[in-house]
Amino acid sequence: MSVKKAISSSDVARLAGVSRSAVSRTFTPGAYVSDETRAKVMAAAEALSYRPNAIARSLSTSQSGLIGIVTSSLDNPFYARLLSTLATLLQAQGYGILLVVADDANFDTLIESLLAYQVNGAILTTAPLRSTSAFELQRYGKPVVLVDRYLNQEMISSVSGDNHAGSAAVADLLVRGGHQRVAFLGGDEGTSSSRDRRHGFTDRLARHGIVLYAEESGFYSYELGMVAARKLLALSPKPDAIFCANDAMAVAAVEVARAEFGLRIPEDIAIVGYDNAGPVGWPTYQLTTVDQNLEEMAQAAIDLLVRKLESGDVSTEHLSVAPTLVERSTTREQPAAAGKAA
């Protein structure tokens, strides 16, 4: 059985009557080629069933066309949606995606491996606060942008939600509802997002003359959120409101409060989440939460990364996206009637 000869760019160039470089430019995102030349090349490519070899092109240009995306917690609806949005936007601009799923334990090793794949740049949705591996990527000329968090160091660009403002809005809402025993169910204490949500919340409560009643950590996990919610609701007296640092933990808190403690929401206890992701808008939950405006955040991160790729800009930028408080039925605007509180 004969093996069909692979069609090369030279074959396309010969049929189209143009140079090989013109063929290369036609299939390179952002490269200039006249409309007439592009039409000739595309017609020849169609006639020959030609598809460009991205691997060969990367060897000749030292540009893989790949963007590394480092993420974690894909079971968290927020990160799953963020990953989908980032990938869709990058692909629309002609970039390929190299996905790496990391946690604090293997983060540094996996980040370093991106260099072996010659990624053009990287977007990180997870990063231990003390990690230095992101700097290694930049040292080798690979722009890096963090999304939804930032590092303590100032040298890595980032796009994140304004967690202080979002959490302060939650505090104002709970105070308007007449809540006094307000608890916080935190995420991973080693992340900037959980830390800033706590600070924004407690600082605004203090301005209202309220001290945080209790707190636990659920590490952004539904399962651990259930454990933490049980601890908070076992207190006597119980909290009359819980602000959770993400929606997965807030959903867990709602289920524990209703099913295990027989509490009415929001009459006996108010529960608020953060992210506006997953099932929070379903009739079962109707959870009050903070929308991070994820699409705007993802677009800003990609615009920042692409700008650095195209210009060679090595400056550091930190962009913040304003959040939106989404009020649903797990909170109230007015204090409960006398005798109704838990």
Instruction: Determine the pLDDT at residue 21.
Output: 85
Amino acid at 87: A
How far, rounded to the nearest angstrom, does the alpha carbon of residue 242 sit from its chain's CA centroid?
24
Instruction: Determine the pLDDT at residue 1.
Output: 46
Instruction: Determine the pLDDT at residue 161.
Output: 94
* Phi, psi (rounded to 5 degrees) for 319: -110, 145
Instruction: Determine the pLDDT at residue 131.
Output: 60
**70 near 126, Cβ under 8 Å?**
yes
Separation of alpha carbons 79 and 247, rounded Å: 12
Half-sphere exposure of 126 (CA within 13 A, CB side): 24
**184 near 215, Cβ under 8 Å?**
yes
The per-residue pLDDT for range 97-128, each reduced to its tens digit, is: 998 887 767 777 777 778 777 889 999 887 66
Q: Angle 334-338-342 (CA atoms, 0-180°, nearest 5)?
A: 90
Instruction: Determine the pLDDT at residue 57.
Output: 54
- Give me the residues of the chain with pLDDT under 50, please: 1-3, 59-61, 338-342
H/E element holding 217? strand 214-217
Instruction: Determine the pLDDT at residue 64.
Output: 66
Instruction: Determine the pLDDT at residue 268.
Output: 97
SS3 333: coil
Instruction: Determine the pLDDT at residue 82.
Output: 93
Instruction: Determine the pLDDT at residue 54.
Output: 57
Separation of alpha carbons 316 and 132, rounded Å: 16
Instruction: Determine the pLDDT at residue 61.
Output: 47
H/E element holding 69? strand 66-71
Instruction: Determine the pLDDT at residue 314.
Output: 81
Q: At 166, list the tokens.
A: 């979002």
Q: Tokens 């936007």 identify what position?
A: 89
Q: At 161, list the tokens.
A: 């939600």
Sheet holding 214-217, edge to edge: 214-217, 182-186, 241-244, 270-272
